[in-house]
Structure 1
Amino acid sequence: MHLILILSALGLAWLTRINESKTMGSYQQRWQTALGKFLFPPLLLFVTALSIVCMGPQGQMVWQWEGWLSYLLASAFLGFVGVSGLKLALEGWRSLQHVRTYPQQTIQGRPCRIINTPLVFSAQVGFWQPELVVSQGLLDTLDAEHLQAVLTHEQGHSYYRDTFWFFGLGWMRGFSFWLTNTEDLWQELLLLREIRADQWAAEQVDFLLLAESLLMVVSAPLMHSESFCAAFSCAAPKNRLEERIEALLAETHLPQPPNWYSLMWLLLSLFPLIVVPFHQ
C-alpha cells in the first residue's frame, strides 16, 4: 500500500502540472494560480514521503519487499529535500556575509551597501531582514528622482518579505526541478513578484519615473541567485521588461487582499498524514 501511495502522489503531482503554467486573467488571478500549481506538487510529495517514514517499513503489504522499498525511497527523498535546503541556506548565508563586507552609506534616508562597480545594479539580499545593495554605477547613472524610484521598488520587496518567502519557494524549486513546468512557474512568480513591488512603489512615487528607471537599468545583476536576492533588474528578458512597463502604464494594482479560498485546495497536500493513525 505504501508503494501505491507513492505512485498516487507522483501521478497527482504530474497531473497538476501538465497544463500551461501561465494563465490569463488579472495579475492577482495569475499569482494565485501560479503559486498553487508551484506549491501543491512538491508539498504533496514531501508530506507523502514524511507519512511513509512515520509509518515505517512494517504493515500489510502486497509484496514482502514493498515496505522496505517504499521506506527507503521515502527516506532518500526526504534526505534530498534536506540537503537541498541546507545547500540553499548556506549559499544565502555566504552571500549575505559577503554583502556585509561592502561599505555602508545612507542614501536618501535608506542604509545601503555600496558595490564599487560601473555596472547598474540594485537588490535586496538576505532573508527576513535583507540588506539593500546598490552599485556605484547605479548612483552615477540615475538622477535623484529616478534613484528614489528604484530604491522605493526595493523597499517594496522588503515590505512583502520577498527574499524570505522566495527562499522557501526556491527550496521547493530545488528539490522539484524534475517536475513538469517547474521553471516556467518559477519565472512567472518572479515576474509577478516584480510587478507587485512595482505597484507598491507606484503608490509612493510617479509611476512614469519608475517605468523610465526600468528602461535605464539594463545591466545584468552581479548576484544572480533569485531565491534570496530580489533585484530591480532581474526582469532582463525583453518580454518580462515590457510586461512590467505595461503593467505600470496601465496602473494595474497588485496585490489585492489574498483570496485564501482559492488556495484552500493546497490543504489536500496534507491528506497523506490522515492515514498515519490508521496504519497497522
Structure 2
Amino acid sequence: MHFFMMVLGVTLALWVRWHWVPSGGNWNQRWQRTLGYFLFPPLLLVMTAISILCMGPSGQMMWHREGWLSYGLAIAFLLWTLILGCKLFWEGQQTVQQFRQHPAIEVQGNSARVLDTSELYSAQVGFWQPELVVSQGLLDRLDPAHLEAVLTHEQAHAHYRDTFWFFWLGWLRRMTLWLPNTEALWQELLMLRELRADRRAAQQVDPLVLAESLLLVVSAPIMQLDLCAAFSWANSSDRLIERIDFILSNSDDQPLQWQRSSLLWLLVVLLPLLVVPFHAG
C-alpha cells in the first residue's frame, strides 16, 4: 500500500505539471494559478513521504502487509530534500557574506552595498531582511529621478519579502527539476514577482520614468540567485515589453484575494495524512 501511495503521488505530480499552460487574466489570477501548479506536486510528494514515515516499515494497512522498500524510499526522499535545503541555505549565507564585504553607503536615504563595476545593476540580496546592492555604474550613470525609480522598485521587493519567499520556492524548484514545466513555471513566478514590484513602484514614482529606468538597466547581467531580486530581470524581449506595458497601464495595487477554488489543492495535498489512522502496527 505504501508503494502504491508513492506511485500515485508521483503520477498526480506529473499529471498536474503536464497540464499547465500559460494563461491570461489579471495579476491575481495568474499568480494564484501559477503558484498552485508550482506548489502542488512537491508538497504532495513531501506529504506522501511524511505519511509513510509516520506509519513505519511494519504493520498492515487494509489487507496489505507493508515492508521496508517503500519506507526506505520515503526516508531517502526526505533526507535528500533536507540535504538539498541545507545546501541551498549554506550557499545563500556564503553569498550574503560575500556581498557584505563591499562598502556600504547611503543612496537617497537607503543603505546600500556598492559593487565596483561599471555595469548598471541593482538588487535586494538576502533572506528575511535583505540588503540593497547597487553598482557604481548605476550611481554614476542614472540621474536622481531614474535612480529613485530603481530604488523604489527594490523597496517593493523588500516590502513583499520576495527574497525570503523565493528562496523557499527555489528550494521546491530544485526538488522537482525532473518534473515537466518546472522551469517554465519558475520563470512565470519570477515575472509575476517583478510585475508586483513594478506596480507598487509605479504608484510612488512617475510610471514613465520607471519604464525608462527599466530600459536603461535591463541590459545588465543578472545574478541567478534564489535570494536575489534584481530590477534588471527580463529574460526575453517579450518579458520586457510586458513589464513596460504593465508599468504604463497604471494598474491599481489591489491586495491579493485568494479564491476558494484556488485553496482546494491544499486539501488534496493533506490527503496522504488521512490514511495514517488506517495503518495497523
TM-score, length-scaled by structure 2: 0.95
SS for the counterpart of 2:105 is strand
Cα drift, residue 175 of structure 1: 0.6
Q: What does the per-residue CA deviation read over 1:30-67, in whole Å, with 9 as the maximum and x for residues that have no partner?
A: 11000000001100000000110111111227776x52
Give the conservation status (yes or no) of the 8 Å contact 2:20–2:37: no
SS for the counterpart of 1:134 is strand
* 1:73-222 equivalences in 2 (<5 Å): 73-221=73-221
Question: Is residue 233 of structure 1 aligned with residue 226 of structure 2?
Answer: no
Cα drift, residue 222 of structure 1: 5.3
SS for the counterpart of 1:120 is coil
Q: What does the per-residue CA deviation read over 1:193-228, in whole Å, with 9 as the maximum and x for residues that have no partner?
A: 000000000111011111000100133445321x10
| Partner residue in 2 for 1:242 | 241
Cα drift, residue 260 of structure 1: 4.8
What number of residue pairs does the alignment pair up? 278
Cα drift, residue 253 of structure 1: 3.4
Partners of 1:88 and 1:22 lie apart in 2 by: 28
SS for the counterpart of 2:229 is strand
SS for the counterpart of 2:270 is helix
Question: Is residue 252 of structure 1 aligned with residue 251 of structure 2?
Answer: yes
Q: What does the per-residue CA deviation read over 1:158-184, in whole Å, with 9 as the maximum and x for residues that have no partner?
A: 000000000110010011111111111
Q: What does the per-residue CA deviation read over 1:226-269, in whole Å, with 9 as the maximum and x for residues that have no partner?
A: x1000001214211111100111222335533215243222321
Structure 1 residue runs of 5 or longer lacking an equivalent are: none
Partners of 1:262 and 1:221 lie apart in 2 by: 39
SS for the counterpart of 2:96 is helix
Give the conservation status (yes or no) of the 8 Å contact 1:27–1:254: no
Overall identity of the aligned pairs, in %? 56
| Partner residue in 1 for 2:271 | 271
SS for the counterpart of 1:177 is coil
Cα drift, residue 275 of structure 1: 1.5
Partners of 2:253 and 2:32 lie apart in 1 by: 12
Summarize the Cα distance change of 1:91–1:271 in structure 2 as closer, same or farther, 3 Å threshold: same
Partners of 2:142 and 2:117 lie apart in 1 by: 14
Give the conservation status (yes or no) of the 8 Å contact 2:234–2:240: yes
- RMSD of equivalent CA atoms: 1.5
| Partner residue in 1 for 2:8 | 8
Which AA in structure 2 matches 1:211? Answer: A
Give the conservation status (yes or no) of the 8 Å contact 2:123–2:231: yes
Give the conservation status (yes or no) of the 8 Å contact 1:118–1:135: yes
Partners of 2:252 and 2:14 lie apart in 1 by: 33
Give the conservation status (yes or no) of the 8 Å contact 2:222–2:233: no
| Partner residue in 2 for 1:223 | 223
Which AA in structure 1 matches 2:263? Answer: M
Summarize the Cα distance change of 1:71–1:60 in structure 2 as closer, same or farther, 3 Å threshold: same
Cα drift, residue 274 of structure 1: 1.5
Stretch moving more, 87-96 or 255-264 = 255-264
